[in-house]
Chain A
Amino acid sequence: MREEFICKKAENCFANAKSYIYTMPEKIDDDFLEQLAQLGRLEVKRNFRRPFFLLETASGIRLKGMLKDNIIKAGFLPEEWEEQKAWTEKELKKILEKRRDK
């Protein structure tokens, strides 16, 4: 089983959009969301057919995806996307490591 996530650039209508898709090595569950919630304001839409989460950090990073899925879509601010991307990847790795240690 993979231990790392795979990151791929996601294109949309805007030339300067900085959106990335992270394919996680495991499915997002409530424990994962608990960890994620420490990074910013988390909203979980449990009334949806497939529950959906949205997270926004104080610095404007946006993460979203579905529970029981292994995809996280990230949006970074164009002016500081490189720092934000590096920070996000570091935090995602930390979450994965913590879960592995449990």
Chain B
Amino acid sequence: MIYFNNSATSWPKAPGMSDVVKKTLDEIPSPGNRATFSAAGKEETCREAIAEVMGIGEAENIVYASCATSGLNMGLLGFPWEQGDVVLTTAAEHNAVLRPLYLLEKAGKLHCFVMPVSEDGRLQAETLDRYLKEYHPRMLVLTHASNVTGAVNDVEVLSAMAKERGCHVFLDASQTAGLYPIQAGKWELDMAVITGHKYLLGPQGTGALYVSPKISIAPVFTGGTGIRSDEKEMPREMPLRLEPGTQNDTSLAGLHYALDWNRNHPADTEKVLDLVRDLEDTLRRLGCRVVSTEGMRTPVLTFVSEKYSPEDIGDMLYGSFDIICRTGLHCAPLIFPYLSMPATGTVRFSLSRFTTKEETEEVKEALEAILA
């Protein structure tokens, strides 16, 4: 089996991680109160490793989430919106960003404007400048990289522009964590999310929300925290304020291991991108329309063929050649007109640091058989 769906969920995972998850499951759980020595030790270490990945110093501003979607919901639904607030977002966003915004807009909490993106899915500085001047937004919510094209946004520049106009910035770094540095502190982000199960090579069900100490958000979920149990409200201290209930300790142990593994084995992104470009050349030779993503990018490529629908190509690759990819809208339904791609979506290949030349050669042979 060849797995080309890493921007959805990575596989394989960090070598050795499953042993750590199993060991954690087999261990006796620590006492319920999280103030105990054993629980605090393990939990804080993973939190610190996440803080390092997100480029911040204070681990207490990292809130565990079950994935980026969960973190985005916590951040957006818990933010103290005021009458007349405007939010800017981009056409490259995943539904994890769009649907909470639609929900808030429907509830009358904010007005949302979707900014156009370039032909490879990037938010251009001039576009943001125009929208900032016209709409005076309270918040900019944007992805670090398009999950459809792989194009990485210049967040340092875009965030600085927004901050200059007093606009909060919320970054979805699901697609870049593990591939490119995230500098939440340096870029003065107000909030940011990552997920553990993509390029960080961690388990599904892990992720984190960073909340800047400069802002305060209300808890979306409430419940037991192990401390101040005699009070009716959630504690004010972060991260407990936003973390009721039992955490996913088993998977967090796996994520912690994966983060350590990543630190010791940095991804050779250029090597993977060479394989991506080689595949793109083959697809173009076979008459496919491929999105041309220039500059900084993740190992993702998107294409369509006039010969077969994306779904047919995906079915043929999987059924006849044991190649797993993703077809359709990739949960980012607004981007396609900007890429000059059909509204019915595309075929997406997303490679991993573990993808080999032998695998891409096998995929090229399959594509020849299908599309030549």
Contacts and interface: CB of A to CB of B under 8 A. Distances in A.
Tell whether A and B belong to one assembly: yes
B329 A13 contact: yes
A73 B331 CA distance: 22
B345 interface: yes
B329 A50 contact: no
Interface string A31-61: 0000000000000010111111010000000
Contact of A48 (B311, B321, B331): B321
B223 interface: no
Contact of B316 (A12, A13, A48): A48
Interface residues of A, number: 16
Name B's interface SS: helix
Contacts of A51: 320
Contact of A64 (B312, B333, B366, B369): B312
A64 B315 contact: yes
Nearest to B343: A14
B319 interface: yes
A69 B328 CA distance: 24
Contact of B345 (A13, A49, A54, A73): A13
Given A12-B328, A13-B328, A45-B370, A69 B311 contact: no
A25 B319 CA distance: 19
Given A45-B370, A48-B370, 14 more contacts: A13-B328, A13-B331, A14-B328, A14-B344, A45-B320, A45-B369, A48-B320, A49-B322, A50-B319, A50-B320, A50-B321, A52-B320, A54-B312, A66-B320
Closest 10 CB pairs of A and B: A13-B328, A48-B320, A13-B329, A50-B320, A52-B320, A66-B319, A52-B316, A47-B369, A49-B321, A49-B320
